[in-house]
Structure 1
Amino acid sequence: MRGEGPFVREAEVGDAAAIAALQVRSWQAAYRGIVPDAVLDHLTEDAWRQRWIDQLTGAGRDGVHRLVSSDAVDGPARAVAACGPALVPSVALTAQLYVLYADPPSWGRGHGGALLRRVHELLAADGHAGALLWVAAANDRSIGFYEHHGWARDGETQREEVAGATFDEARMVRDLADWRPPS
């Protein structure tokens, strides 16, 4: 079956190369001015590809969902998300969106929103009442995207080191107890 996307499905090991490529491009576009250019300019797909292969072939943690969005049912990944139990849970926040990256040419085409709706659905179905995510505090585009989808900053911050770069992150939270799929 072919048609207009975005289509959301579970990620497969065959998606690892496309995920790695879109993740590098996403970082290079979204983190410019937040992360030093030297770090962004030297990101390679190889390291990310191996991480995704390991994630998609390993047993992993229970309750972790790895998803991709594509333009066609069997099309290449245009965006990726991973979610599951919170790494540091609290009574109210038992779930976490670990990553959500979209290929810059796909920004504004609905892939991120389609993934986020599926994330909300899966986490709610898994019995989580509240979720958290961490976003670069200076990434206004991402913060606005999450706010549009019902997430809110709660004032918590942390310093994060990823790919040789250190930056501030803001925590965003979302209630899942009353989440219902859009009609």
Structure 2
Amino acid sequence: MVHVREMDGADIEAVSTIRVRGWQAAYAGMVPQTYLDAMTVEGDAVQRRQLFSQPLRKSRDLVAHADRGLAGWICFGPCRGEMPVLGRAGEIYALYVSPDLIGQGIGRRLLGEAHTQMKSQGFEASALWVLSGNQRARRFYERAGYQADGATQDDVYDEITLTELRYLRVL
């Protein structure tokens, strides 16, 4: 059984573990291995503590708790860019599930709860960005009702430029 709840400060180490291991598993072969190898749970936790402690932060963090502990994490909030949609748009900033638990509905539960909370906050649509080569994530979001809208942005990882696609969904 999976329980979704608000993240608290005590969850930071576990969330950082999920995020780093998630990056290393999901982006192997897409993001340069040197970049993935340089990621550490400790370094990520330092960043996460700084972000989490900002008094005026507008993002929300939820965690999925399963039998063996934290199994997933999602972060969302107001859309950070211009949106070609009517009404207010939210954005999924990050969604990660422990690599060994992918396919068990944890990501779907986190995403569903984020959608519910975004809608209750007055958002009418949700956006997110996905690496163009991340077919697994693209299929996941498409099954959840997201569609690529044609917008792209480039990110550079160890001097390698990778393209992200924007996906949108009406809430």
Correspondent of 2:44 among 44, 48, 60: 48
Instruction: Provide TM-score, normalisation by structure 2.
Output: 0.91
When the two chains are superposed, the root-mean-square deviation of aligned CA atoms in Å is 1.7
2: CA distance, partners of 1:155 / 1:25: 29
In structure 2, the residue matched to 1:84 is 77
The answer on 1:98 being equivalent to 2:93 is yes
Task: Specify which of 13, 17, 24 is matched with residue 21 of structure 1.
Answer: 17
* Alignment equivalent of 2:31, drawn from 31, 35, 54: 35
Q: Report whether the alignment pairs 1:132 with 2:127.
A: yes
Q: Distance in 1 between matches of 2:144 and 2:24?
A: 24
Show the counterpart of 2:57.
61
Bigger mean CA offset, 79-88 vs 162-171: 162-171
C-alpha contact 2:90 2:126 (8 A) present in aligned 1? yes
Aligned mates of 1:21, 1:82 — CA distance in 2: 15
Q: Which amino acid aligns with 2:113?
A: R
**Cα separation, 1, equivalents of 2:102 and 2:146:** 19
- Alpha-carbon displacement from aligned partner over 1:116-138 (angstroms, at most 9, x marks no partner): 00011011111111111001110
Contact 1:84 1:95 in 2 (8 A): yes
SS in 1 for 2:96: strand
| Corresponding position of 1:112 | 107
2:136 maps to what in 1? 141
- For residue 53 of structure 1, give the secondary structure of its aligned residue in structure 2: helix
Which consecutive residues of structure 1, in runs of 5 or more, have no partner in the other structure? 177-183
In structure 2, the CA distance between the partners of 1:108 and 1:56, relative to structure 1 (3 Å rule), is same
Separation in 1 of the partners of 2:62 and 2:13? 14
